[in-house]
Amino acid sequence: MDVADIDFEQVYQGTTPLASKIPWDIGGPQPLIVALEEAGGFRGEVLDIGCGLGENATFLAARGHHVTGLDGAPTALDEARARAASKGLDITFAQADATRLDGYEDRFDTVLDSALYHCLDEQARHAYVAALVRATKPGAQLHLFCFSDDLPEGFPVPARISEQSLRDTVGQGWTITRLERKAYTASITRDEAAEVARTMLQGEQAPDLGSLPVDEQGRVLLPVWQLTAQRA
């Protein structure tokens, strides 16, 4: 299986090897985003783009933010609505093409991208960044988390993003104010990550993941970029 060709709707429907334990579904908000919110990183109308199952959007709404969650996978959106409803939260979830964002022009003050960017190819990334400019107000902030080039060789991910690539692409329409290497919490252990790698690589030798740190629950911490940028 080519990881670049993952159909996320099939993942959420349970018909791919990733479905047994979705690596990014940790059953709560991403700790990096909790820290970002506590530091005052969100204001005004918030867009959670590539919201998936809605845990980050739900967390932000519970903290008093007005959040719109957009994703391309209908099954994920249905589950996101159910999770939000179970907590009594009113969040708008809708299907959208992240590279266009038609109908959302000049709307948002803050954008959260929690691991969508690296799922796009180079051409789509440029279209996506331009779409975010159109969907936001002047002075809006973008918070973006994506896999870095520190990931172990051979580990199957859609893309490893270099610092220069981020600066060249996101820098078109946005002024980058923060770009740091961070650790992103996955739902899987090292052994589970190795099993996912073996399945995805279809018999090829799995990478050595012993260098990847884990949290107190044994969950793998994956190397990412944390980027903050301001719209001109």
Classify residue 88: in a domain, yes or no.
Answer: yes
Classify residue 226: in a domain, yes or no.
Answer: yes
Classify residue 146: in a domain, yes or no.
Answer: yes
Domain count within the chain = 1
State the pTM of this model: 0.95
Is the distance from CB of 129 to CB of 184 less than 8 angstroms?
Answer: no
How far apart are the C-alpha atoms of 145 and 128, rounded to whole Å? 14
Q: What is the pLDDT of residue 156?
A: 78
Q: What is the length of the chain?
A: 232
For 100, residues 6+ apart whose C-beta sits below 8 A from its C-beta are 127, 131
Residue 38 sits in a domain of what CATH number?
3.40.50.150
Q: What is the pLDDT of residue 69?
A: 98
Q: What is the pLDDT of residue 210?
A: 81
Question: Tens of pLDDT along the chain (232 residues)?
Answer: 445 568 899 999 988 777 578 999 999 999 999 999 999 999 999 999 999 999 999 999 999 999 999 999 999 999 999 999 999 998 999 999 999 999 999 999 999 999 999 999 999 999 999 999 999 999 999 999 999 999 987 777 889 999 999 999 999 999 999 999 999 999 999 888 888 787 777 766 667 788 899 999 999 999 999 999 999 8
State the pairing for strand pair 136-147/221-231.
antiparallel
List the structure tokens of 217: 């629950």
Q: What is the pLDDT of residue 140?
A: 98
Q: What is the pLDDT of residue 206?
A: 66
Classify residue 26: in a domain, yes or no.
Answer: no
CA 2, 154, 224, 232 torsion-angle sign: negative
Classify residue 174: in a domain, yes or no.
Answer: yes
Classify residue 25: in a domain, yes or no.
Answer: no
* Residue burial 214-226, b: 16+ Cβ < 10 Å; e: rest: beeeebbebbbbb
Q: What is the pLDDT of residue 199?
A: 77
User: Which range marks the domain in which residue 132 is found?
Assistant: 31-184+221-231
- Map tokens 């691991």 to a residue: 115
Classify residue 142: in a domain, yes or no.
Answer: yes
Classify residue 77: in a domain, yes or no.
Answer: yes
Q: What is the pLDDT of residue 1?
A: 41
Q: What is the pLDDT of residue 195?
A: 82
